[in-house]
Every structure is written in C-alpha cells, then in structure tokens.
C-alpha cells in the first residue's frame, strides 16, 4: 500500500512538472490550454479519489468529516470539468456570466462544515441533530448570500463588471473565513491532526493566493490558460492528493464525550446570527439607492423567502432543543436520585462497619469471662449437690451456653464475609443443629421432634453458616419455651415449589393456611423473643444464600419460624460408596 502511494504521488508530481514546463516553454495556444485544463482536471480527480478510502475506512463523525471534504473537492472538480468542456471541447472562452461559478463558490461550504465537526477533539455533549441543523442553517445562509449579491447581476439586470466585482469580493470573504477557521483548527490540534490541518491550510492559502494573482493578471489582460499564473492553482490541486494519500489521522478517544458544550454553543450562536442578519440585508437592499429597482425587488423577495425557510429551520431546531433539554433534565433527576441513594448506601455501610468493629471488640472481651464461668459451672455440676442445687447449677450452665452462643453469633455478624458455596444436604445440617442443641433442651426437659423427608434436600450454601443459622434459631426457640408451658419443639423440613422449607415451631404444623411475615427489626412484635443481633445475623446469612427468614406469632396458635432456601437438582448419578452415614435423631423427652 505504501509503494502504491509513492507511485501515485510520483504520478501527481510528474503532472505538475509537465504543467510547469509547458507554462515556461510553450506559447499561448490551444494545445497549451488543453494540456493545462486536462492536467488540472486530472489533479482534482486524483485528489477526490485519494480521499474516498478515508470515507470507506472511517466511522461515525470521522466518516462525515471525510465525506464533507470529498464533497467539497468533488464540487471543485465538477467546476474544472465545466471549464475544460468550454475551452477544450467547444474551443471557446468560458462565458463571463458563468452559471457554474456558483459551484466554485459553494465548494468551500462543505469544507467549512467539515472543520466545524472538529474530529481532532473529543465529541462534546451537544446533540448531533442540533449540530446538523446548525450546519444546514450556515449552508443555507451562504447560498442566500451568493444569490443575493451575485445572481441579480447575472439574470435580473445583466452587468458583467458588477457581476465579477461582487463574485470576487464575496468569494474572497468566503476564502478568508475558511482560512481563519482552518487556522484555528490547526492551532487547536496536535499530533497527526496538526500536520493534516497545516497541509490543508498550506494548500488553501496557495489556492487563495493563486486565485488572487490570476484575477490580477486577468484584469491586466495578461492571463491565459496554461500560463505561469496557473501554477499556484495546480500546486494546491496536487497538494490535495498528497494529503489524501499520506494522512493517517484517527478520531481521538472514540465514543468518549466531554462535558463541555462550548463549541456546540458557538455553532448555535453563529446559526442565530445568520438568521438575524436577514433583516439587515433587507434594510441594505431598501436603502441602497445605487441599485436598479428590479434588483431591489428581487433581493427583498429573496430575503423574505430565505427568512421563511430559515425561520422554519429555527423552529424545528427549537423543538429539538426542547426535547434535548427535557432529556437532560430527566437524566439529571435520575442522576441526583442515584447519588442520594448511593450516599445512603455509603452511610449505611459505614454504620455497619462501625457496628461490626464495636461488636467484634465487645464479643472478644466477653469471651474470656464466659469461658471461665462455663468452666466453673461444669465444675460445680460435677460436685455432689442436692437435687435442688443440681437443678440450679444446670440452669446456670444452660444460660451460660446460650450466652456463649450469642457471643459466637456476634462474632459471626462482625466478621461476615462471602460464603463458600457448595451443595449441602439441608437435612444433615438440621440433624447436626439438633444434636448441638441437645444439652440445652435436655436440661430444660423439652421434647424435640424431627420430621425430615427420606430424600436429599440439596441447597447451595456454606454448611458452617447454615449450621450457625439453625443453631441460633433453635436456641432462641428453646429460650422462649423455657418461659412458657410448651414442652415440645417441632423441627421439620420439606421440598415445595423449588424451595427447601424448614419449620421450627411449638405447635402442630397441620394448619397450612397460617400467614407468615418476613423477619425484620420493624416487623418483630416481640422484641425479647425475635429481635437481636443473633437473628439479624441469621437473616444476613440467609440473604447471601438467596433465602429468607419468616415468622408467625399468635397467642392461641403459638410461635412458628420458617426458613426458605432455593433447592438445587441432585446429581444424576450419585456415588454408590463414600456416602456418610447421617445421624438419625429420635424424639427425646
């Protein structure tokens, strides 16, 4: 590809050298004119073709940029073909009042629109639809200026001198505006874009200078096609091919937008200035007494039509702007709401972290005296005591063990972390929890009845954390029963609707229509029974397992606690050996 670009560049340089030699050594003749026109057409065609690969390879805003650049060069090439048609094919001079002059004038407008895209800078938040409408306003305004200032002397009142003077003056203003915009883009860019803009600025400045000297020679009747005055124009044409062949710029930070809208605001201001300039041109047409009445009427009618057209465009732009502002307002409200929600979450997280540190420290401090009291309690129970003293020593040990379990729950709450999830048989965990709690319910003379299905009840979770949950719930239930006349605790499990449901209750489970509520600090009606850090930690663990803790408390029906955890499918081919023998508890009295 690089070798092809070198060959193409050499061919362009050869065309330019041929034109220079012809201008230096050939006299003014048809052959010189034909050679000059054909070579200039070839150079412009080469420039347009060298830009097409950029249009094909690029995307989004960069593709629009290269499309506008290619469109401008194509307009210039079309005008050159028109010029070649007259001087080579028809062998006559181009008419003084040339309709194709408008093509030459408008070929700069797409170039200015391309520069307004600023592909060298990150795209701002200015709405693309508004940007396109601003471009349309500016292009309409430039076309209006040409029709207002130049066309009347071509079709309304024919005046060749006035036509040429107005065309050259307006064309000069347009070229100066383009050069100024291009210079600002050059200064504000960097890297490959800076080289690109510098090359385009050099080409445009060479073209502007060549046009000026060609017009100067034309007024002195010393210009002819193929003369030395055409060399700067040919250099600018050849320069376009070099830019197209050797430019490798890319849009910076694709897909990233900046929060700045200054450039878009300036485009909008220029569009509004263009719209508000129409009354000034209408006043100029009315107050200029040197122009014929027909041209005055033509300019007034044209200004009225342009005002109507641009007014419609401004109205559409305002509607789009309203929709954009409404979208931004909605987005701002959502962002503000999300920010407040995030602040609340951060505050809650900080509170929980502080509570965790406090609870962890307090639990560690409590562990030492609790361990000592538990040892002394066991030592006391092992001595010879009267039945009444033995019962009291047993109650002391039972309450110390319950306090120790609560401290363990506090430590679990303070050090809570991600659970190591694995398939767990929930029935095995429940049997272990009942066995661990056996010293407490035996000392209280409470009967524990278990009702587990024969099949595996598999859930995905951490067996240690789940064991902590069920031990804590059973201990809380035993503590409550010790204050009541109830002497039977039912621990049952079942598989229903894809959920593993565990019931811990002091009443018969035959009533299936009981209503449960999810446990929380707000729904707990019996603070001494169902509130506390123990069950809070259980609820937190269950949420990690996508489960929940529900409860029901009624004076007539008793208290029931239900734990729900999603089940998982059992393995298709369970191992024939290596299955641990699970402890099967029996009813205890």
Quick one: pLDDT at residue 52?
A: 94
Calpha distance 282→302 (Å, rounded): 9
Q: What is the pLDDT of residue 234?
A: 95
Q: Per-residue pLDDT tens for 35-85?
A: 999 999 999 999 999 999 999 998 878 888 999 999 999 999 999 999 999
Contact between 5 and 246 (Cβ < 8 Å)? yes
**pLDDT tens, position by position, 71-97:** 999 999 999 999 999 999 999 988 888
pLDDT at 158: 92
443 alpha carbon, distance to own chain's centre = 64
Q: Provide the token pair at 201.
A: 């600025």
DSSP assignments along 223-246, one per residue: --TTSGGGHHHHHHHHHHHHHHHH
Instruction: Identify the sign of the CA torsion 346, 349, 351, 353.
Output: negative
- Give yes or no for residue 521 having a pLDDT over 80: no
The percent of residues above 90 in pLDDT, for the chain, comes to 31
- Count Cα atoms within 13 angstroms, Cβ side, for 564: 12
- Half-sphere exposure (CA, 13 Å, Cβ side) for 114? 22
Q: What is the mean pLDDT of residues 461-475?
A: 82
For the chain, what are the domain ranges?
A: 2-253, 419-566
Assign 186 a pLDDT band (cuts: 50, 70, 90). very high
pLDDT digits (tens, 9 = 90+) for 240-286: 999 999 888 766 544 444 444 455 556 667 777 888 889 999 999 88
Does pLDDT of 578 surpass 50?
Answer: no
pLDDT at 318: 78
Which pLDDT belongs to residue 523? 47
Q: What is the mean pLDDT of residues 168-189?
A: 91
Region 354-358: mean pLDDT is: 72
Mean of the pLDDT values across residues 222-235? Answer: 91
The pLDDT value given to residue 542: 83
Query: Is the pLDDT score of 101 beyond 80?
Result: yes
Higher pLDDT, 532 or 290: 290
**CA end-to-end span of the chain, whole Å?**
93
Averaged pLDDT, 182-207 = 92
Cβ atoms 229, 217 nearer than 8 A = yes
What pTM does this model have? 0.59
User: Distance of CA 98 to CAs 86, 147, 166, Å?
Assistant: 11, 14, 14
User: At CB < 8 A and 24+ separation, what contacts does 7-14 make?
Assistant: 8/46, 8/50, 8/241, 8/245, 9/241, 9/242, 9/245, 9/246, 11/46, 12/43, 12/46, 12/238, 12/241, 12/242, 13/238
Contacts of residue 476, defined as CB under 8 A and 6 or more positions apart, other chains included, come to 529, 530, 534, 535
Q: What does the pLDDT read at residue 365?
A: 72
Q: What are phi and psi of 518, to 5 degrees?
A: -70, 135
Q: Look up residue 537 and give its two tokens.
A: 């930690």
pLDDT in tens, 360-370: 677 767 777 87
Which pLDDT belongs to residue 374?
74
Residues 271, 430: Cα–Cα separation, whole Å: 76
Mean pLDDT of 192-205: 93
Strand order in the sheet with 447-451: 447-451, 488-496, 499-505, 558-566, 548-554, 517-518
Q: What is the third-level CATH fold of 419-566?
A: Heat Shock Protein 90 (3.30.565)
Looking at domain 2-253, which CATH architecture does it have?
Up-down Bundle (1.20)
Is residue 115 classed exposed, middle or buried when 0-12, 13-18 and 19+ CB atoms within 10 A define those classes?
Answer: buried
Give dist(CA 398, CA 369) in Å, integer.
Answer: 16
DSSP class per residue in 300-311: HHHHHHHHHHHH
For the ranges 195-199, 255-259, 382-386, 560-564, the one whose mean pLDDT is highest: 195-199
Element (H, E) at 101: helix 101-106
């Amino acid at each position: 590809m690089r070798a092809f670009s070198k060959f193409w560049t050499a061919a362009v340089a050869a065309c330019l050298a041929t034109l220079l030699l012809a201008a230096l050594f050939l006299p003014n003749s048809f052959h010189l004119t034909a050679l000059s026109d054909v070579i200039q057409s070839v150079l412009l065609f080469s420039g347009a073709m060298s830009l097409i690969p950029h249009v094909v390879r690029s995307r989004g805003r960069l593709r629009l940029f290269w499309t506008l650049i290619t469109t401008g060069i194509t307009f210039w090439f079309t005008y050159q073909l028109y010029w070649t048609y007259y001087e080579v094919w028809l062998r006559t001079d181009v008419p003084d009042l040339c309709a194709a002059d408008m093509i030459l004038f408008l070929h700069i407008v797409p170039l200015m629109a391309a520069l307004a895209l600023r592909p060298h800078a990150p795209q701002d938040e200015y709405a693309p639809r508004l940007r396109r409408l601003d471009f349309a306003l500016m292009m309409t305004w430039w076309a209006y200026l040409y029709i207002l200032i130049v066309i009347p002397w071509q079709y309304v009142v024919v005046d060749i001198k006035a036509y040429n003077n107005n065309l050259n003056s307006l064309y000069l203003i347009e070229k100066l505006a383009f050069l100024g915009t291009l210079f600002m883009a050059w200064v504000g860019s960097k890297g490959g874009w800076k080289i690109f803009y510098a090359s385009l600025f050099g080409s445009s400045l060479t073209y502007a200078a060549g046009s000026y000297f060609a017009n100067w020679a034309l007024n002195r009747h010393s210009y002819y096609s193929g003369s030395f005055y055409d060399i700067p124009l040919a250099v600018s044409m050849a320069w376009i091919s070099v830019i197209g062949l050797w430019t490798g710029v890319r849009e910076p930070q694709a897909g990233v937008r900046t929060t700045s809208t200054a450039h878009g605001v300036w485009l909008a201001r220029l569009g509004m200035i263009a719209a508000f300039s129409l009354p000034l041109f209408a006043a100029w047409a009315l107050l200029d007494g040197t122009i014929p009445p027909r041209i005055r009427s033509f300019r007034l009618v044209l200004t009225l039509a342009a005002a109507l057209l641009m007014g419609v465009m401004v109205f559409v732009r305002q509607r789009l702007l309203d929709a954009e502002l409404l979208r931004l307002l909605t987005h701002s409200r959502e962002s503000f709401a999300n920010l407040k929600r995030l602040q609340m979450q951060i505050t809650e997280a900080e509170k929980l972290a502080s509570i965790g540190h406090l609870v962890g420290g307090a639990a560690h401090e409590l562990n030492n005296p609790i361990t000592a009291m538990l040892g002394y309690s066991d030592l006391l129970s092992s001595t010879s005591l009267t039945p009444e003293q033995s019962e009291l020593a047993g109650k002391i040990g039972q309450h110390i063990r319950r306090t120790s379990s609560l401290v363990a729950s506090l430590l679990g709450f303070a050090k809570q972390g991600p659970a190591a999830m694995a398939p767990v048989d929930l029935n095995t965990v429940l049997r272990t929890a009942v066995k661990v709690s056996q010293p407490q319910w035996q000392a209280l003379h409470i009967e524990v009845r278990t009702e587990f299905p024969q099949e595996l009840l598999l859930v995905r979770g951490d067996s240690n954390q789940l064991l902590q949950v069920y031990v804590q719930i059973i201990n809380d239930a035993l503590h409550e029963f010790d204050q009541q006349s109830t002497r039977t605790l039912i621990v049952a499990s079942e598989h229903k609707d894809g959920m593993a449901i565990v019931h811990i209750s002091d009443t018969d489970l035959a009533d299936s229509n009981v209503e449960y509520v999810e446990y929380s600090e707000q729904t707990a009606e019996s603070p001494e029974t169902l509130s506390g850090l123990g069950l809070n930690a259980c609820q937190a663990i269950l949420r990690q397992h996508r489960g929940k803790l529900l409860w029901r408390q009624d004076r007539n029906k008793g208290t029931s606690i239900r734990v729900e955890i999603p089940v998982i499918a059992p393995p298709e081919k369970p191992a024939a050996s290596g299955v641990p023998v699970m402890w099967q508890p029996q009813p205890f009295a």
